[in-house]
Amino acid sequence: MLIAHLSDPHLRPPGVLYQGLVDSNAMFAAALDHLAALDPQPDLVLLTGDLVDEGTAEEYAHARQMLARLTAPLLAIPGNHDEREAFRATFADHPHLPATGSLHFAVGDQGPVRIVALDVTVPGEHHGDFDWAAEKWLEATLTAEPTRPTLVMMHQPPILSGIACIDAYNCRGGARLAALLTRHPQVERVLCGHVHRFMQTRFGGTLLLTVPSTTTAIALRLAPDAEPASFVEPPALLLHHWRPEAGLVTHHVPIGRFPGPYDFF
């Protein structure tokens, strides 16, 4: 099973630039082009939040138009730049989304790997929160299939990255989430967005990964008093490849066209 993982496209209305500088729509179109050229094709596409930038109806309408190009099923969760009810309405045809409340869901009919989506967004805020209701839901959901290989997807990572400007807006309640995950060894990865960078760390007895944005990268400035900044670095996506004999292998895949292929390796 091949699972493509995108995040944080920050789509704008047609003709409008992200932050007035960057064509996030064109960069997301390039990401979709890259997916379309993959061989074999992904069986599933995950999107871990910040689909749009301001949560407007016009942005979501344009997002659905762009996403119509996907041939594989899409599983998406909101980020802090999304508006939860507008997001729910945009994907009203996705039967796994709940009709009310947080947009948690679990999907197990797309292949051997189960996808558990955790909506940790706090409406009107930029940080996330793994609250008691999310904890109760996740415990019950993971308990229901204790031996099925599982990916947990969420927007804000429940860790500190070392980048002070983004760590102020991480997911709170990370220690409780880590304790819960240690009781569920079937969780192969925790997949996050939000940071606009690739990171990997041990968390809750498994691996936690963040995927780069398809648009800009938050500057890797690790000094505690560093000024916040972003760069237009090469965007990337992740490919999670599940095989029974090998388990899950995750690949970091730059988006774009590059010199090659050459006849050496």
Could you tell me if residue 235 is inside a domain?
A: yes
Could you tell me if residue 9 is inside a domain?
A: yes
What's the domain count of the chain?
A: 1
Could you tell me if residue 259 is inside a domain?
A: no
Could you tell me if residue 147 is inside a domain?
A: yes
Alpha-carbon 37 to chain mean position: 21
* Tens-place pLDDT, residues 34-84: 999 999 999 999 999 999 999 999 999 999 999 999 999 999 999 999 999
Q: For position 42, what pLDDT does the model report?
A: 98
Contacts of 168 (CB under 8 A, 6+ apart): 127
Banded pLDDT at 264 (limits 50, 70, 90): very high
* Tens-place pLDDT, residues 164-215: 999 999 999 999 999 999 999 999 999 999 999 999 999 999 999 999 999 9
Q: For position 7, what pLDDT does the model report?
A: 98
Instruction: Look up the domain containing 135 and give its range.
Output: 2-254
Q: What is the pTM of this model?
A: 0.96
Could you tell me if residue 16 is inside a domain?
A: yes
* Tens-place pLDDT, residues 96-149: 999 999 999 999 998 999 999 999 999 999 999 999 999 999 999 999 999 999
Bridge partners of 208, per DSSP, are 190, 201
> What CATH number does the domain containing 184 carry?
3.60.21.10
Could you tell me if residue 260 is inside a domain?
A: no
